Structure 1
Amino acid sequence: MIFSSTRTAGDHGYGAMADRMLELAAQQEGFLGIESAREDVGITVSYWASEESIKSWKQNAEHLEAQRLGHKAWYSEFKVRVAKVERAYGI
């Protein structure tokens, strides 16, 4: 799952919630890992075992609250893409 975003000014509790979401996601069945980078645009890629595990994460109560706050206070824009990794390699 690929989440790209542009943040609003100020923290407004974002840092603490981001830490909590990482902790919570790691406890979800089917969570495989996460990579994230931020400059002007933030990009977070999370890896899941199945589409069902992604759907379960999307409906997690704490994650739903984070989504609500994201809409309200943290992001001026964002986009979510669900994609399947067919192959991965690197050094």
Structure 2
Amino acid sequence: MIGEVIVIGDLQLRDGASVDEHDRLGARMYDIVSRLPGFVSVKSFKADDGEELTVFRFASEEALEAWRTHPEHVETMKRGHAEFYASGFLQICKVIREVGPFEHA
């Protein structure tokens, strides 16, 4: 969808980080974001070399901003930087052209 915003992320856990707590917080964040107006989807993909990317889709910049500034998400991001992640990146992209979907009979 033209105007849609895509966030691509690759966050690497620290050695010794609590995977259980990370997963619990991740489930909580998904519970929140999935109910926000304008949230479209989130999916993760793992490459053969082990790199894992997560792709979030939002209907608009306003929808992404609502998520980015959600109070519980802000606090969880702070915890992520302090406790869980050794490195990573986020790329925020705006869809400028879309081809498809199409089907072949």
TM-score (norm 1): 0.85
Tell me, which stretches of 5 or more residues in structure 2 are unaligned? 1-6
Please give the residue correspondences for 1:78-89 in structure 2 after superposition, counting only pairs within 5 Å: 78-85=88-95, 86-87=97-98
- Structure in which a larger fraction of residues adopt helix: 1
TM-align CA RMSD: 2.1
Where structure 1 has 5 or more consecutive residues not aligned to the other structure, the ranges are none
- Distance in 2 (CA, whole Å) between partners of 1:74 and 1:43 is 17
Amino acid at match of 1:87: E
C-alpha distance in 1 between matches for 2:71 and 2:51:
26
The one-letter code matched in structure 1 to 2:18 is D
After TM superposition, the runs of 4+ consecutive aligned structure 1 residues lying more than 3 A away are 37-42, 88-91
Residues 34-90 of structure 1 deviation map (CA, whole Å, 9 limit, x = unaligned):
111357543211100001111110000110011001110111112111112332659
Aligned length: 91
The TM-score, its normalising length taken from structure 2, stands at: 0.75
Partner in structure 1 of residue 11 of structure 2: 5
Specify the structure having the higher radius of gyration (Cα).
2
Output the amino acid matched with 1:11. Answer: S
SS of equivalent residue, structure 2 residue 94: coil
